[in-house]
Amino acid sequence: MKKTIQKYDVATVQYEPSQFQKDHNVDSLLNLCEEAANKGAKLIVTPEMGTTGYCFLNRQEISSLVETIPGPTTKKFQSITKRFNCYIVIGMPEIDEETQLYYNSAVLIGPNGIIGKHRKSHGYIAEPKWSAPGQEHLVFETEIGKIGILICMDIHFIETARLVALQDADIIIHISNWLSERTPAPYWISRAFENGCYLIESNRWGLERTVQFSGGSCIINPDGSIASVIDKGDGIAYAKIDLSWSRKKEVLAERVFNDRRPEMYLNLPTDPYLWNPLDFFGLYGLDPLPRGKESLISVVQMNSTNDVKKNLNKILSHLDDAKNNLSELVVFPELSLTGHLNKNKSALSSDSPEILKLAKYANKNDIYICCGFAEKNNKEFYNSSVLVGPEGILGVYRKVHLNKDDNSWATEGNEWKYFDTKIGRIGLMIGYDAIFPESARCLGLYGCDIILCSSAQKGVFTHGHKGTAVRQNYPIPTGADPNHWNHFRIRGGENNLYFVYSNISDQKNNYLGKSGIFGPDPFKFPREESLIHEEEDITFLKINTSNLDTNYPTNVVRDKFMMSMRHPHHYLPLVKHTQKKT
């Protein structure tokens, strides 16, 4: 193979295909690809099913449009890749000659022919009408870097992007027929961000069989920023790629792939939501889900000092505010009790007078409190959070993923913790844990209704949207939104649980807040959430973890429809233990 080209131009094509008019679509896409190649694009990406349209009723209806790979269509695009020495990704319906199965496929074509293809593995509601699911998540090594491909619904699942990222993908190519929200979609942004790689998104736009597609094709940088975007209409967006950025494999200045804990992810290949979760989690009469209820909960965003007494007094003052508003749960930031810059200098035991004082407050006021602190246990120190409630001290969670600051003083925790309360099943995470999509997924698979994440996270993990000209059905918003993407919102929706994120506010030291309570349904608008910006503050949200009086789940936090659509047999590489890099 030739030496890798580090810097080059890429292009994403946005196009509205005309259903059943394959020749017209192919000719239009050839023209758009040639235009991009003429302008110097080395890699050009086109939409999912761009050659045929998308909304097909059954195999018979699409049977005249499927073809083999390689075949007549790929041959036409290869003439461009050969002439311009470039690479093109085409989305098309494929037939497997041997089995006669149809697939929703994407093919990567280079100057010397077909490099590889991806068959959509996680189908949307439309695919089972005619298409079989694909079985592999491959990365293709080329002179322009290592390229992974996902198709539309694939990217809803944390596992698919992680599978290609673990194969050192520099670029995730995502082609789609995305709908029902403003784009660039938060899911797209988070998959680039949490894997520290580029994402090139080619989405169709327009209306087909009553379905409004969202456009928003874009190139997303490894830090989640948008390099280039098209809103509405046919067109091409361009950006420059620098592989040295994606090859750092950094998220918020941390080497996340060095810090993964595969031995902690061993439930990722399981599939509890194939079953009625009300039966599954109560099997043998053990570990049944709590009844749940409607509750008002709150999250506090605050700064902390190196003085434990001052921190405790501030925490108690916020608790009074929460109690006076009838909140039943309050979450405080990571290390907020002992000081987020204090490391282990003021470490406390889990039964220290300060912890017992919080437990007494919780018991007296019938409230749950989650608070972060540096824990001393014999000769070891942990970055921990404690959950106290009317019952007393429910338990302590020790941070599983340690960042650079933690590694200078703390020991890794080795157990996910969740607790059954009258509010619901509550899982605990701390700060850097939430950067790893595996963490919330593991807790979701344990049946958690709510995750409490006490955090001291530096850096930028949010940005806004200026609005879209693509019309959407009510109540899907189209206007400007300064909070369009918050990475930690994604943790709630992708696991169908409430994600309660409490971050330190200390702008001097780059702790920028952005705490919030995020709802469990990624397709619900207006969003079920309550946010804080950069300042010290408290915010509230009414949540509901209850179920109707039936033996079947009637609440999204219990049904977890996103979990039921996972394909865990693909996910074994996510738990493969490899020696940490230095």
Give the active site residues. Answer: 48, 120, 152
DSSP 67: B
Give the strand pairing for 205-208 and 218-220.
Answer: unpaired
Find the Cα–Cα–Cα–Cα dihedral 190, 195, 198, 204, rounded to 10°: -40
Distance between CA atoms of residues 514 and 535, nearest Å: 9
The beta strands (E) that lie in 431-503 are given as: 450-455, 462-465, 481-486, 498-503
Extract the tokens encoding 1: 């193979």
Distance between CA atoms of residues 415 and 345, nearest Å: 24
The secondary structure element, H or E, covering residue 54 is none
Residues in CB range of 63: below 8 A, 6 or more apart: none
Other C-beta atoms within 10 Å of 417: how many? 19
Residues in CB range of 251: below 8 A, 6 or more apart: 193, 194, 195, 196, 435
Residue with tokens 């996510």: 574
Q: In this structure, which amino acid lies at residue 405?
A: D
Q: Is 451 helix (H, G, I), strand (E, B) or coil?
A: strand
Distance between CA atoms of residues 226 and 197, nearest Å: 13
Cβ(4)–Cβ(241) under 8 Å? no
Residue with tokens 């083999």: 68
Q: Which of 474, 489, 471, 569 is nearest to 528 (CA)?
A: 489
Q: Is 165 exposed, middle or buried (0-12, 13-18, 19+ CB in 10 A)?
A: buried
Residue with tokens 């097909």: 56
∠ at Cα 563 (559, 566), nearest 5°? 145
Distance between CA atoms of residues 263 and 260, nearest Å: 9
Distance between CA atoms of residues 575 and 573, nearest Å: 5
Query: Which residues, in sequence order, are bridge partners of residue 146?
Result: 141
Q: Is the peptide bond between 475 and the residue preceding it cis, with omega within 30 degrees of 0?
A: yes
Q: Is 67 exposed, middle or buried (0-12, 13-18, 19+ CB in 10 A)?
A: middle
Residue 98 to residues 116, 134, 264, Cα–Cα distance (Å)? 18, 15, 40
The beta strands (E) that lie in 302-354 are given as: 329-331
The rounded radius of gyration (Å) of the Cα atoms in the chain is: 25
Cβ(260)–Cβ(400) under 8 Å? no
Cβ(315)–Cβ(354) under 8 Å? no
Extract the tokens encoding 420: 């059954």
